[in-house]
């Protein structure tokens, strides 16, 4: 972990204005913002830790718990629940081999459930990196992952 963070920090002069790009690099490298690394960022940029937490909490792109490059949010609100959201969530968990709140070992995918995505008429819904998938079925899940695998650069 130290090598990766040193490499990230060495590509910046250490100005306050570098804070968000540094956090973006950490998020994309580690899948989240680990607490011990934020301490290093604080001494590197001379931005107090409390301020870093304030900035990082403001933007939804940052997470304090591990998140995959493709973050899936499955809606389990009432409308989606009635239309089989639980089976959809279980299908995704089975497909990825992780449970809700987990992240795949390669940091490609993570999954969580949310109360309502605001598109109840199109239930059941989920998002993959903020892109809404509506009226999803178990078949769609396979298609989504197959397509993402093809799009992934080797």
Binding site for ligand FES (CB under 6 A): 75, 77-80, 116-120, 123, 125
Name the minimum Å distance from CB 111 to ligand FES.
Answer: 15
- Closest to ligand FES by CB, 107 vs 119, is 119
Name the minimum Å distance from CB 83 to ligand FES.
Answer: 8
Residues, the chain: 154
- Closest to ligand FES by CB, 42 vs 134, is 134
- Closest to ligand FES by CB, 107 vs 120, is 120
- Closest to ligand FES by CB, 46 vs 121, is 121
**Residue 59, both tokens:** 């933007």
CB burial class (10 A; 0-12, 13-18, 19+) of residue 33? buried
DSSP string, 84-121: THHHHHHHHHHHHT--TT-B-TTSSEEEEEES--S-GG
Name the minimum Å distance from CB 93 to ligand FES.
Answer: 18
Name the minimum Å distance from CB 50 to ligand FES.
Answer: 35
**Residue 144: how many CB atoms within 10 A of its CB?**
19
């Amino acid at each position: 972990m130290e090598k990766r963070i040193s490499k990230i920090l060495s590509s910046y002069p250490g100005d306050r204005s570098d804070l968000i790009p540094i956090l973006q690099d950490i998020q994309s490298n580690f899948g989240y913002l680990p607490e011990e690394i934020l301490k290093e960022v604080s001494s590197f940029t001379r931005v107090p830790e409390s301020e870093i937490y304030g900035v990082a909490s403001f933007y939804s792109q940052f997470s304090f718990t591990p998140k995959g490059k493709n973050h899936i949010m499955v809606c389990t609100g009432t409308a989606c629940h009635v239309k089989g959201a639980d089976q959809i969530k279980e299908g995704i968990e089975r497909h990825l081999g992780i449970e809700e709140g987990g992240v795949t070992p390669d940091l490609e995918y993570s999954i969580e459930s949310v109360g309502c995505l605001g598109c109840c008429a199109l239930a059941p819904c989920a998002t993959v990196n903020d892109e809404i998938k509506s009226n999803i079925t178990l078949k769609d899940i396979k298609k989504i992952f197959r397509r993402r695998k093809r799009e992934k650069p080797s």
